[in-house]
Structure formats: C-alpha cells, structure tokens
C-alpha cells in the first residue's frame, strides 16, 4: 500500500480475499490463502524491481 500497489485487501467470511489495486479500480476476488501469497510475492517483486531501477 505504501508503494501504491494495493489499495485494500479484506478477508471474506468464505476464506476468499477481496482486493482492490486503486480506489477507482474494480474489486478482484482471490480464492484463498495461496492466491493471496502469490499476490504478495508479485508485489514484493514489483517493489524490488522498482527500487533497483531508481538506484
């Protein structure tokens, strides 16, 4: 969220994650914890890639 890569992530009672990349973007549904971990890995990759480009 600090790097503006994710606006919100909410765990639904069904175990799915509802995520939104920006305030105006549509809400996406992730099917459980594995999908959330994959998203976190993707965000980390973007942060590291961006950080390396700015150095």
Length of the chain: 55
In this predicted structure, the answer to whether residue 19 has a pLDDT above a threshold of 60 is yes
In this predicted structure, the answer to whether residue 18 has a pLDDT above a threshold of 60 is yes
Compute φ and ψ for 9, nearest 5 degrees: -145, 125
Give the model confidence (pLDDT) of 21-41 as tens digits. 888 999 999 998 899 999 889
In this predicted structure, the answer to whether residue 55 has a pLDDT above a threshold of 70 is no
pTM of the model: 0.68
């Amino acid at each position: 969220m600090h790097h503006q890569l994710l606006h919100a992530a909410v765990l639904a009672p069904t175990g799915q994650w509802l995520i939104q990349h920006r305030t105006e973007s549509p809400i996406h549904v992730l099917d459980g914890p594995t999908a959330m971990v994959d998203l976190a890995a993707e965000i980390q990759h973007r942060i590291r890639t961006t950080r390396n480009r700015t150095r």
